[in-house]
Structure 1
């Protein structure tokens, strides 16, 4: 019904535009014909005025009659050119223009000749010229031609008015017919809409629910962006601070190395000269202690800097790696991951419990394996020394399109103030009795965010930790979007 109504409305609009354009064209045509008639009448009047001035001068020989004569001649040329311009494109009139121009030139020449003879005192010759009636015959032919122009313009104007009336009548019928059609279509549309009111109400309620969830997602993403911005600032500080520290050490011990080298140079390059006991003692001290110490510090600083740079490159490469979403069975994946640390858990009589309520998700396998592997390794590394390690993994649905993976242990736990700090690059918390550079959980968060998710932690000192990983159940939809 709406399609029919749109078609009818489009027909009314197109027909109205056509009729309006036709009316405008006809109106313009009428205006042009009116201008032709007026120009023809003006040209004839100009010739009459010039002839009146000419004859007045011939009779009275007073110069005052020549002024209107000259003005009228100027108007004759202007209106003749105007008539010629206006009749272009109208063959019936345009074909008479050359003849009209010839007659006007003859009439103007005849009047100019009589005026010139009178001015030279040849009144008789001027009178004879007038009496030949040549001027009157030319004037009659000019009048007949211009009357023909006016008659044709009057006929064209009448025809245009008739077309205008016809167009108005057609527009009226189009409007009435279109109005009836639109009323019929609207009646049908109202009937159909009434049948679907209940479905629309149901759809509206669903949209409201979706809007509520969308607002939640917007708030979550806004918070994510704020956190990401803070992390960028922290990362910039870490890079400038932690990379600068080894560099300062290298610069400092390079200076010490240079100082020690001077003592050795003085000893080695003595060139047979006598050295004091202090110089010999300083050279031996530089060779036995200062140089090895400086070289050792430089080596350890460059090694640390190399480790920091490699960690940054690793996270950067993970962000650039192309994700390959695929369907993954969660239980076999978790069993494989837990098997990699089974012997370490078994050493302390510990155990692993799996609770998988979402059997399958669509995500990037390599990234998920790295996340779970890192969380399992941390649970083993930071287990409590006085009790067996119990590791529980739960995979639960969350919302419409999300999955929550919880990795819980009963290890040392993490202090409240370090819950966010542990996810920063090169940052660690608690007792530093285990090797590590502080990049593991920063790497995990980077991977989780690449998968469209997030990771957080709940923990208390001495009571274990629960890492909560939230991921979209179908990564392929996010990748496509």
Structure 2
């Protein structure tokens, strides 16, 4: 619209210039025609003055009457030349110009003959010359030609004046429209400037908001790095401690194994030599008790090491797995997780409340399915004996691309000192009456952090727990070291 306004304005400026040029042309032609009309009148007036002077002299013989005649005679040449110049090449005048000049010359010659006859005291001949109507004929033709010139000039002047007035009127309207267009363009320009300023201010506010958000994200990433570093240190300590303990056991029982093996060797290698009762007793004790016990503890320690290594490998494999971002309905995943434990919940007269609305996010379905499945399994595993299990889940959008999922139960609960401990690898809290290796919730935390989220827990011992899962609504916008 602004460009269209500029184009209209330029068109009006061009039209105004054209109308001004046309008006100048009309003004110039009007001036030329007025000068031509003046020359026509000058010729007529001069010839009339000459004729009047000649007639007065013939009637009175007074030399004073010859003054206007002589002045007219003297000026007529220049006046005729001026008339011819102002006529120029105008076709409506040029055709009659030779006849006009001939009649003027003939009229002046007739006037001059009469004056000369009067000067020669031949007054009767002079008067007779006037009475012959020869001069009257010349004068009539001169008047007719000049009258025709004047009428042609006046007609053209009327046309030009009308055209000039029309051009002036058009110029006035173009000027008015141009002023309106200028105001419209100016208004549009001001509107665009205002809009630009508003957009600039809005962009600046957005940049300020992004800067604030960036600072928050930098702080959040810094906290994540600190937390990750702390977890690496904890993990390194746990791994070295928990792996070292079986190794120490193995080394200790190998030493005991070696000690117990000596009396057996002495008994076996006796080659029929008599042994003391004490040596025989020690050999029997080693075979029946010491060696089997050492073997049993060594086997138990190696089994524990194998379990620890397998747990570490499992978490490592899940961390390296390429995440597949896809649309996932949280309600569908919760319903699937609930259905997997429904028979166990029903067996204790419990209930599962999953009254949630559909909420679609883009994330890795497998990881999220494992997270929810583990939480639901834990709720069943650690339910309060003698109390029907109540398991609920809620979806709570948090804004800014974050959604929270709360999974609650009325189970045993967790002591305040153990709220963070339960997410550590190989750590368990509360009464240990259920089988487990202490890697479930550590695995859950690892999975959800790979998805760009986190998990926390609020619990009261003996009353139940609520696990809070926070997840980004679009995994593709999150960079967590995995290719998505």
Secondary structure of the residue aligned to 1:340 is helix
1:336 aligns with 2:336: yes
Aligned to 1:461: 461
The DSSP-based 3-state class of the residue aligned with 2:457 is: strand
Q: Is residue 287 of structure 1 aligned with residue 287 of structure 2?
A: yes
State how 1:165-176 maps to structure 2 within 5 Å. Answer: none
Q: Secondary structure at the match of 1:397?
A: strand
Deviations 1:363-411 (A, max 9, x none): 1011001100110011011111131111111112112111111111111
CA change 1:201–1:233 in 2 (3 A) is: same
CA–CA separation in structure 1 for the residues paired with 2:207 and 2:215:
12
Partner of 1:267: 267
Q: Is the Cα–Cα contact under 8 Å of residues 357 and 396 in structure 1 kept in the other structure?
A: no
Q: Does 1:213 align with 2:222?
A: no
Three-state SS of the structure 1 residue aligned to 2:478 is helix
Q: Please give the alpha-carbon distance, in whole angstroms, between the structure 1 residues aligned to 2:189 and 2:270.
A: 111
**1:153-302 aligned within 5 A:** 193-302=193-302
Cα pair distance change 1:203/1:247, threshold 3 Å:
same
Q: Residue by residue, what CA displacement relative to the aligned partner does 1:419-463 show, whole Å, maximum 9, x if unpaired?
A: 111111001111111111100000001001111111111111112
1:350–1:388: 8 Å Cα contact kept in structure 2? yes
Per-residue CA deviations over 1:83-138 (Å, capped at 9, x if unaligned) read xxxxxxxxxxxxxxxxxxxxxxxxxxxxxxxxxxxxxxxxxxxxxxxxxxxxxxxx
Maintained 8 Å contact 1:357/1:397? no
- On the 8 A contact 1:358/1:397 being kept in 2, the answer is no
> Which residue of structure 2 aligns with residue 361 of structure 1?
361
For structure 2, list consecutive stretches of 5 or more residues without a partner in the other structure: 1-187
Tell me which residue corresponds to 1:80: none
CA contact (8 A) 1:408 1:467 kept: yes
In 2, are the aligned partners of 1:355 and 1:395 still within 8 Å (CA)?
no
The 3-state SS of whatever aligns with 1:352 is strand
Displacement of 1:191 in angstroms is 8.6
Q: Secondary structure at the match of 1:385?
A: coil
CA distance in 2, matches of 1:296, 1:189: 92
Instruction: Report if aligned partners of 2:383, 2:389 keep a CA contact under 8 Å in 1.
Output: yes
- CA deviations 1:41-78 (Å, max 9, x no partner) are xxxxxxxxxxxxxxxxxxxxxxxxxxxxxxxxxxxxxx
Partner of 2:411: 411
For residue 341 of structure 1, give the secondary structure of its aligned residue in structure 2. Answer: helix
- For residue 195 of structure 1, report the CA deviation from its aligned partner: 3.9
- Deviation, 1:206, is 3.4
- SS of 1:298's equivalent? helix
Q: In 1, are the aligned partners of 2:406 and 2:469 still within 8 Å (CA)?
A: yes
Classify 1:357/1:212 alpha carbon distance in 2 versus 1 (closer, same or farther; 3 Å). Answer: farther
Give the drift of 1:321.
0.4
CA distance in 2, matches of 1:274, 1:189: 122
Give the drift of 1:342.
0.8
> Please, what is the CA RMSD of the aligned residues?
1.9
SS of equivalent to 1:459: strand
Task: Report the secondary structure of 2:433's partner residue.
Answer: coil
Deviation at residue 289 of structure 1 after TM alignment: 0.5
Asked whether the 8 Å contact 2:331–2:357 carries over to 1, the reply is no
Give SS of 1:388's match.
Answer: coil
TM-score, normalised to structure 1, is 0.59
The one-character-per-residue Cα deviations of 1:182-227 (angstroms, maximum 9, x if unpaired) are xxxxxx9999544411222233333333333333333222222111
- 3-state DSSP of counterpart to 2:471: strand
TM-superposed deviation, 1:415:
1.0
- C-alpha separation between the residues in 1 aligned to 2:341 and 2:243? 33
Q: Structure 1: which 5+ runs fail to align?
A: 1-187
CA 1:211–1:358 in structure 2 vs 1: closer, same or farther (change >3 Å)? farther
> When the two structures are aligned, how many residues end up with a matched partner?
294
> Corresponding residue for 2:7?
none
The answer on whether the counterparts of 1:311 and 1:439 sit within 8 Å (CA) in structure 2 is yes
Distance 2:275 2:391 in 1: 70
Cα drift, residue 355 of structure 1:
3.8
Q: Cα distance 1:190–1:297, how it changes in 2: closer, same or farther (>3 A)?
A: same
CA distance in 2, matches of 1:216, 1:391: 35
**Cα distance in 1 between the residues matched to 2:189 and 2:300:** 82
Q: Which residue of 2 aligns with 1:476?
A: 476
Q: Cα distance, 1:478 vs. partner?
A: 2.4
Is the contact made by 2:391 and 2:407 (CA closer than 8 Å) also made in structure 1? yes
1:436 aligns to what? 436
